[in-house]
Each structure stands twice: as structure tokens, then as C-alpha cells.
Amino acid sequence: MQNKVIYPGTFDPITYGHVSIIERAARLFDHVVVAIAANTHKKTTLFSVDERVTMARDVLKHLSNVSVCNFQGLLLDFVKNQQSRIILRGLRAVADFEFELQLASMHQQLASEIETIFLMPSVQYAHVSSTLIREMASLGSDVSMFVPEAVSKALLKHFSRKKA
């Protein structure tokens, strides 16, 4: 049986923190599916789901065992449809732990055959969050240290269009 792991999230936008997690997972598993949520607990997103998928595909094209797709509805259904049994999440700091513990515990109770595993990013990206990136970029800050070039360009375009 091939080991396929599902890495779900909003990826609004994808950052070097996410990429660091995905590169690690690509070394550990046969296949990594980056699953970009169309509907999310975050009420609105800066980028549409299609834009988020396109950016992620572009940024991850060097990883041959990684694919990117969007998903709607329940994550557990998506994981089962993909014939996977592993959900991957990233842990930055203690702040992530509470929410991730709740989510993993609920998933464990709902589908005990599916495991959630956690990876940490490279230390230099342990503080990077899409929320902060969006906020800093909206104020005109250079975020190219924290996100791939395609993403910083998309952010620049988005916010300069808004200003015009």
C-alpha cells in the first residue's frame, strides 16, 4: 500500500512555512496531497480558491510526488475519497497546539482509522503565518523573505490594484 498523506488548509496564501512542511512530508511519504479548502472557518479569503490552488501548484512544481487540489465539505470525507488514512498538520508555536489538539481529537473520535500527524517547519519559518503576511503586505511591507516569489508578486498586484 502506498503511503499517501493529506495536508489540508486554507493556504491564503501559501508561505515558506507551508512549503517547509510539504518538503519534509515529500521526503517521508510516497505522495502528498495539498488540499486547499474552498469553504473555511475563516469567513473570507484574500485569494479565491482557484488563485490559491494555482499559486500552490506553481510554488510546489519542483516536488514530483506532491499534488494540489481544492476540496469542499468535510475533510474526513475527502481523506476517505482519496483512499488515505493520514492527515498532516503543521505546528508552529504553542499557540497552534490548542486548536490542532481539538481538531485532531474530534477527527479521531469520528474516524478512528484516520491518524493526524504533525510536523514542524524549519525554525526560520516557525513564526510565519498567512494572516500576518496578508496584513503586512496590505500595509506595503516587503514580505519576500516569507513567501515564494509568485506569492509576493500576487500580493503586490492585489494591493496595488486596491489602492488604484
Which residues have a catalytic role annotated? 18, 42, 92, 130
Residues of span 116-145 touching ligand ADP by CB under 6 A? 121, 125-126, 128-130
Q: Of these, 6, 11, 53, 70, which contacts ligand ADP (CB under 6 A)?
A: 11
Residues in 33-62 that interact with ligand ADP by CB under 6 A: 40, 42
Question: Could you say which residues in the range 82-121 bind ligand ADP, by CB under 6 A?
Answer: 89-90, 92, 96, 121
Give the residue at shortest CB distance from ligand ADP.
17
Print the SS3 string covering the chain.
CCCEEEEEECCCCCCHHHHHHHHHHHHHCCEEEEEEECCCCCCCCCCCHHHHHHHHHHHCCCCCCEEEEEECCCHHHHHHHCCCCEEEEECCCHHHHHHHHHHHHHHHHHCCCCEEEEECCCHHHCCCCHHHHHHHHHCCCCCCCCCCHHHHHHHHHHHHHHHC
Q: Report in angstroms how near the CB of residue 10 gets to ligand ADP at its nearest.
A: 3
Question: By rule CB under 6 A, what count of residues binds ligand ADP?
Answer: 19
- Footprint of ligand ADP (CB under 6 A): 9-11, 15, 17-18, 21, 40, 42, 89-90, 92, 96, 121, 125-126, 128-130
